Amino acid sequence: MSAPTIEFGAWSSLLGLGSLHGLIVAGLLIKAKRNTAANRFLAALLVGTVLMITPYTIGYAGFYDVYPWLTFAPFYWQLAFGPLLYFYVRRLGEDASPPRWRWHFLPAALQGAYYAAAFSLPLPTKWAWSAAGHEPYVAPLLNAAILLSLSAYWWRAFGRYRAYQAWLEANSARREELHLGWLRGFLWAVAAVVALNVGFQSVDGLVADLDYFDYFPFYLALSLLVYYLGIEGWRHAGIALPTMSAAPPSAPVGETAPSAELSPTPERDWRALGERWSARVAEAGWWREPDLNLADLARRLGTNTQYLSRALNDGLGLSFSQFVNRLRIEEAKRRLGEAPRGRDGADITTIALEVGFGSKASFNRAFRALVGATPSEYRADAHDAPSGR
């Protein structure tokens, strides 16, 4: 019988290319100048995933046949994946990590320590422990803990994403351009691969024993996930996101508002106050500023964010984002109605930027939501009508 050799076939090469991509992107993310903490959490997640794929990448090439002492090499850090995902999402919209955040990685440290200890054993002892202890007891417990950890942290990450979207709606004039569909897709891609892993483990435990090679489709999917997360993460590594503020001030921050406007009386007319402030904002043209936010507008009006929010929400029935977009769209409608017929899309882009939107795409979404037609359709209809709109 010939001695075992190392040979990189199609399976090892596919997984290896995905891993190489993940490591390159991780290196780029570590050096990113913006969103430093978030990008480093994502880089660590990519490296951890590459490590998880590595035993199969080298295993299909024959490394474990040539170097059996690689058994129990500490490639497995899956208990860090959930916290890394959660803190990546969280730090995209926050300036600082929560206190004692490092404790979230204690289970991963224990997992790594277990594999490091097992790896240090003599080879015969490794095999004996694998058969008598690891496979029947430790592996099922680890798999359950990993699934529980990933599920819990994924849920928290998705909740954080939704909370940030709600905060943008209530506080930022950039809401329309910050739907963050890429981040939602990012989270659902992770969920899909976790579900696929559950499927493989269920078949392995309940239907038929799956061997090393039967798991290749899962690790191929994991490699594709590395591609996807790496590409999306790097594409948005430098995105400038508004930072979620802690809590709005509970007292007026300005000195110009009449005391009658701000006195906490139960009979306050929020609608009248909202209309008054709306007129001031429209006249001043503050809505044209792309980065306008609730706190800044409250300061200019001489009030606080709580009062301004109530005047908009309870008085006008609008969120802050809707309020600003309505003023922007009204001006855009006026400009489109005046524009000569037959102008091309470049002029629509100019109008979009001049009324405060960050891109033509965000302008189109907001315009269609409020008017029921695209800017081009509205302009065409306006100039088809005998007297315009």
Domains of the chain, by residue range, sit at 10-235, 268-384
How far CA 109 is from CA of 80, 86, 220, 234, 309, in Å, comes to 8, 17, 26, 27, 45
Radius of gyration of the chain from Cα atoms? Answer: 28
**Confidence at residue 378, expressed as pLDDT on a 0 to 100 scale:** 85
**Confidence at residue 245, expressed as pLDDT on a 0 to 100 scale:** 64
Alpha-helix runs per DSSP H in 207-263: 216-235, 259-262
**Confidence at residue 341, expressed as pLDDT on a 0 to 100 scale:** 52
Residue-by-residue pLDDT tens, the chain, 389 positions: 677 888 899 999 999 999 999 999 999 999 998 899 999 999 999 999 999 999 999 999 999 999 999 999 999 999 999 999 999 999 998 888 888 999 999 999 999 999 999 999 999 999 999 999 999 999 999 999 999 999 999 999 999 999 999 999 999 988 888 888 899 999 999 999 999 999 999 998 888 888 889 999 999 999 999 999 999 999 999 888 888 864 444 444 443 444 444 545 456 789 999 999 999 999 999 999 988 999 999 999 999 999 999 999 999 999 999 999 999 999 998 888 875 555 444 588 888 898 998 888 889 888 988 888 888 888 877 666 655 44
CB-based contacts of 310: which residues, under 8 Å, 6+ apart? 270
Q: Which residues pair with 62 in a beta bridge?
A: none
**Confidence at residue 2, expressed as pLDDT on a 0 to 100 scale:** 72
Q: Are 281 and 133 in contact (CB under 8 A)?
A: no
Question: CA-to-CA distance for 228 and 239, rounded, in angstroms?
Answer: 17
φ and ψ of 94, to 5 deg: -135, 155
**Confidence at residue 358, expressed as pLDDT on a 0 to 100 scale:** 85
Neighbours of 170 (CB within 10 A): 19
Question: What is the dihedral sign for C-alpha 320, 326, 332, 338?
Answer: negative
CA nearest to 179, candidates 364, 372, 376 = 364
How far CA 311 is from CA of 268, 303, 306, 366, in Å, comes to 10, 11, 9, 22
**Confidence at residue 250, expressed as pLDDT on a 0 to 100 scale:** 40
Residue with tokens 């061997």: 211
Q: Which residues of 219-256 are buried (b: 16+ CB within 10 A; e: fewer)?
A: bbebbebbeebbebbbebbeeebbebeeebeeebeeee
Question: CA-to-CA distance for 384 and 389, rounded, in angstroms?
Answer: 10
Q: How many CA atoms lie within 13 A of 141 on its CB side?
A: 9
pTM for this model (two decimals): 0.85
> What CATH number matches the domain at 268-384, 3.40.50.720, 1.10.8.80, 1.10.10.60, 3.10.580.10?
1.10.10.60
